[in-house]
Structure 1
Amino acid sequence: MTRTNSNPVSNSSNTDHLPNRITVVGRGVPSNFEFSVAGDIEMMTADPVKEATVVTKNVVEGSIEVGVQRFRFSGELANIRVGDWNGVEGAESASTPTIHVDYGVPER
């Protein structure tokens, strides 16, 4: 996936334009995730390369084993796909990451 935005990752304190949040929680097994939104999205970290995550204007593609990755976005969630290390899709594998979507979450 190619980056189309010159600064897709931002830690700006003004997140009024990104009122929603997606949280990806790893389950201890290498897994992949991808989601898109009908709006803009930004990763809530200083170093997305360290997190093995690609963020464009409205699509995120990454991997996770343990820990948590968070993103803020505008609009609605358009699509989501998760798969375990064998490529088995979400509902068929207990190893895929858990995804939480929260709308209208104020910045802490």
Structure 2
Amino acid sequence: MARDDPVSQDTSVQSAEQLPNLVTIVGRGVPSTFEIAVDGEIEMLADDPVAEATIVSDKVAEGTIDVGVQRFRFAGEMANIHVVDWNGVPASKSPNTPTVHVEYGSPER
């Protein structure tokens, strides 16, 4: 039985064209928070961003992650990325913060 997936049905091809860039947040097993800001639009690649504790506005996405992967497509340039671990220690000083991968011109996955 096929499952209805509103995020990847009709919008996936359109998203790749209109939102050509990809940012991936990878959790390291420690509760952490992140904020991503872009100068264009951003959208989360997930069935239910609220269930993943992620808030997405036009240009900013913020949320929490401990394990797993969260992906976002965006247009424009990355303006800011801020990640901190559960103690509020930033990425440069904590080995437990999530890793962040940014790909410009990334094809749809």
Do they fold alike, i.e. is TM over 0.5? yes
* Corresponding position of 2:95: 94
Q: Measure, in 2, the Cα distance between the counterparts of 1:46 and 1:57.
A: 18
* Corresponding position of 2:3: none
Instruction: Give 5+ residue unaligned stretches, structure 2.
Output: 1-6
Q: Measure, in 1, the Cα distance between the counterparts of 2:47 and 2:92.
A: 31
Alignment of 1:1-108 (within 5 A): 10-11=7-8, 12-13=11-12, 14-15=14-15, 16-108=17-109
Higher helix share: 2
The amino acid of 2:97's aligned partner reads T
Normalising by structure 2, we get a TM-score of 0.88
3-state DSSP of counterpart to 1:91: helix
- How many percent identity over aligned positions? 61
3-state DSSP of counterpart to 2:24: strand
The amino acid of 2:62's aligned partner reads E
Per-residue CA deviations over 1:71-105 (Å, capped at 9, x if unaligned) read: 00000000110000000011100010000000001
3-state DSSP of counterpart to 2:92: helix
3-state DSSP of counterpart to 2:67: coil
Find runs of 4+ consecutive structure 1 residues off by over 4 angstroms: none
Which protein has the larger Cα radius of gyration, Structure 1 or Structure 2? Answer: 2
